[in-house]
Structure 1
Amino acid sequence: MESIHKPIHRSKWRIRLGTAYYRGRRYLEWCFGSAHFAKTKRRDLLPFRVAAHRTPMLRQLKDVDMWLQHNKVTNLKIAIQRINGITVMPGETFSYWRLIGKPTRRKGYVEGMVLFYGGFKPGVGGGLCQLSNLLYWITLHTPLEVTERHRHSYDVFPDANRTQPFGSGATCAYNYLDLRIKNNTAEPYQLVLGMEDGDLTGEWRTTQMTLHTYEIYEKEHRITQNLWGGYERHNSIYRKVFNREGELVQDEFITENRALMMYQPFLESGT
């Protein structure tokens, strides 16, 4: 397998032009594409919870000021209001950015942490990747199909209290790095989001008890050093599918992850 090439520094004008180009393409696809996007919200909860997860909103990350974390909470509250209760009908597609829209100061978004070419910087709407990460994770535990997901190109922070496999999230950037989820089942699926005891919470609900449960795990996790000196982290995500009797009926490949590590992958010696 070919290793990741050394990152190329691009000028701010190159980045702006590239961003404008890809955003324009996505706007055209929204207008003229064939996907039927979900837009209906329900106040009442559908009866069966299929998958749920929660993640802490405030984490102490290396070299990251906590005000960026607190601002992230503000941004998450605004985004949640846009998509909480969205119900994806059979044949419809959930689009993260089409529903949330562009994060702007006018809408109340503030500067949070934005990952940027292996590092981070303040940016309006920063921190919304935590929401897309949670959505991707709970969706893997349902029969819904992820039709668009983008992996993180850089592994920026060392693992700290990690409970999920490396690479089990979904990065996002308005509007060209989207998270899309299609409902190919015969039942509606409702997304329920909230904040509770300092955690971001999310669940998918539906109208019938599902036939299967799911277990996500990783294979082939490794760290290698490229010829130009950088370290690369790799793994593959798989999913076990069980029937109602707890019997394994399928073991399927989900995705492959590759990311440049932005920290030394060695532990310092100690007592």
Structure 2
Amino acid sequence: MVNPTDRSLHQPISRSWLRLRLGKAYYTWRRYLLWGAPRFHWARTRQREMLSYVQFAHQTPLFRQLRGEEMKLQRNKVVNLKLAAARLDGILLFPGETFSYWRIIGKPTRKKGYLDGMVLFLGQIGSDVGGGLCQLSNLIFWMTLHTPLTVVERYRHSHDVFPDADRTQPFGSGATCAYPHRDLMIRNDTDQVFQLHVWVGEEYLEGEWRATRIPEHRYEILERNPRIEQAAWGGYIRHNELFRLTYDQEGRLLGEEFLLSNDAIMMYSPLLSE
């Protein structure tokens, strides 16, 4: 059901070119300082040989059914994903270490082989060097929710871009990324080593979290309190909350925890007919 609301807080933001440049420079240097902070032990060791036990695996399709220039941007995205996945594949996350998505990948540049891919910026779809890497951060975040690893930094998508056709994950279960300040950071608070395995197949972006022991628990992600509200400025806001259920290997429910809430501006009409 679509309900009216006066939550103008979610109105699309318009900023000047100068404000955007200054803001990006400020948050970039803050991120570089964070990466140099001695309180963090950053994951940096890669190992070609994979750890024995898969904790969780997932895959997402590489292509949507689009046309024209957008299909070219999707093909470029696959190139970008291959370059980024090669940097992340095999990374080990030892107890007490923190994984930083952008610290390991580095800045996507043309010199490194990255191409123009599709990006979403302030509610506008466009293209930029390295575009499309959010698909990789989305995959890693979703897999992490099914492990005992701790997500310490994640940014939600501010816009809901596509309707729910063929959606296999709950709305709002991804993690947007923008170098270097919109990062995905994951800490290992367990007593065993984890390893990230990601690669680009023919049709899917694929990934696994692996570890040194058989998984002790199974996790299920649930969506609750979904709603769509019409804002005072005329657009629509989509909201939901995600919870995680934890089971033992015999299927007994051990607990439930609140994970996050999402509010996103819809870029399509919620009143479209099927």
Post-superposition offset of 1:146: 0.4
Distance 2:24 2:100 in 1: 19
Question: After the TM superposition, which residues 77-92 of structure 1 pair with which residues of structure 2 at under 5 Å, given as runs?
Answer: 77-92=82-97
The match for 1:212 is: 217
TM-score, scaled relative to structure 1: 0.96
Using a 3 Å threshold, how does the CA distance of structure 1 residues 267 and 190 change in structure 2: closer, same or farther?
A: same
Contact 2:13/2:122, CA 8 A, preserved across alignment:
no
Distance 2:31 2:65 in 1: 35
Q: Deviation digits for residues 107-150 of structure 1, max 9, x if unmatched?
A: 00000001111121110000000000000000000000000000
**Alignment equivalent of 1:59, drawn from 61, 64, 69:** 64
* Unaligned runs of at least 5 residues, structure 2: none
SS of the counterpart of 1:41? coil
Q: Which moved more, 1:161-170 or 1:55-64?
A: 55-64
Distance 1:89 1:261 in 2: 39
Post-superposition offset of 1:159: 2.1
**Alignment equivalent of 1:12, drawn from 11, 17, 20:** 17
| RMSD of equivalent CA atoms | 1.5
**Alignment equivalent of 1:116, drawn from 117, 121, 125:** 121
Q: 2:155 matched to 1:155?
A: no
The match for 1:201 is: 206
Question: After the TM superposition, which residues 38-187 of structure 1 pair with which residues of structure 2 at under 5 Å, given as runs?
Answer: 38-61=43-66, 65-187=70-192
Letter in 2 for 1:175: P
* Unaligned runs of at least 5 residues, structure 1: none
Letter in 2 for 1:81: A
Q: 2:240 matched to 1:235?
A: yes
SS of the counterpart of 2:140? helix
Contact 1:119/1:156, CA 8 A, preserved across alignment:
no
Post-superposition offset of 1:215: 0.5
Post-superposition offset of 1:163: 0.5
Question: After the TM superposition, which residues 250-269 of structure 1 pair with which residues of structure 2 at under 5 Å, given as runs?
Answer: 250-268=255-273
SS of the counterpart of 1:170? coil
Post-superposition offset of 1:157: 2.0
Contact 1:96/1:178, CA 8 A, preserved across alignment:
yes
Q: 2:31 matched to 1:26?
A: yes
Q: Which moved more, 1:161-170 or 1:259-268?
A: 259-268
The match for 1:222 is: 227
Identical aligned pairs, as a percentage?
A: 56
The match for 2:196 is: 191
Distance 2:268 2:67 in 1: 11
Letter in 2 for 1:147: V
Greater relative contact order: 1 or 2 (C-alpha under 8 angstroms, separation 6 or more)? 2
Post-superposition offset of 1:209: 1.1
Post-superposition offset of 1:64: 6.3
Q: Deviation digits for residues 234-255 of structure 1, max 9, x if unmatched?
A: 0001111001111000111110
Instruction: Tell me how many residue pairs correspond in the alignment.
Output: 269
Using a 3 Å threshold, how does the CA distance of structure 1 residues 54 and 162 change in structure 2: closer, same or farther?
A: same
SS of the counterpart of 1:178? coil
Distance 1:263 1:96 in 2: 30
